[in-house]
Amino acid sequence: MPAEVMRRPGDFQPVIQFSIHADNKVGRLNEIIGLLAVHEVHVIALSVLDTTDSSIIRLIVDYPIEAQKLLIEHQFSYVQSELIAVELNSEEQIKTVTSALVQAEINIHYIYPFLMRPNGRYALAISLEDNELAADTLTRSQLNVIGQDDIAR
């Protein structure tokens, strides 16, 4: 088990993403969403990459520790990773995000929107090659980088 590192206030705090490897069959996504819902773990962001034989279901939830326990208990194969999440006041700020990352020469692997946020603002989940540099870059561009604690209910 990885050691927990104490973070100073203001340090980058990543958002936890689960990439669940699932058979491509009818009802599999519904099964996973239902399992989380029954245990009051809410899906905050969702992306599905579909292939002929399998799917990768990317989820960000409000309580990742509980989600992790459920996925293990129900024998779902998954990978856990850390992402940047950035809050947006409007669609126009997407250009600010991409411009800041280009200027810092940070590659974007993939990006998808949040479904909901407790304070009602838009947000993007972004997989990058350097999360800490990206968080600093986006903050310097007057964008609000949010962490896992910001999305918990």
Enclosing domain of residue 59: 15-81
pLDDT averaged over every residue in the chain: 89
Residue 24 has a pLDDT of: 81
Binning pLDDT at 50, 70 and 90, where does residue 152 land? confident
> 99 and 46 in one domain?
no
Region label for 88, one of left (φ > 0), alpha (ψ between -120 and 50) or beta (otherwise) = beta
Residues 71-110: tens digit of each pLDDT = 999 999 999 999 999 999 889 999 999 999 999 999 999 9
| Other beta carbons within 10 Å of 148 | 20
Instruction: Identify the domain boundary among 31, 54, 81.
Output: 81
CATH of the domain at 24: 3.30.2130.10
Residues 23-53: tens digit of each pLDDT = 888 889 999 999 999 999 999 999 999 888 8
Residues 2-15: tens digit of each pLDDT = 444 444 555 668 99
Residue 151 has a pLDDT of: 87
The model carries a pTM of: 0.86
In a domain, 55, yes or no: yes
In a domain, 4, yes or no: no
Number of structural domains (the chain) is 2
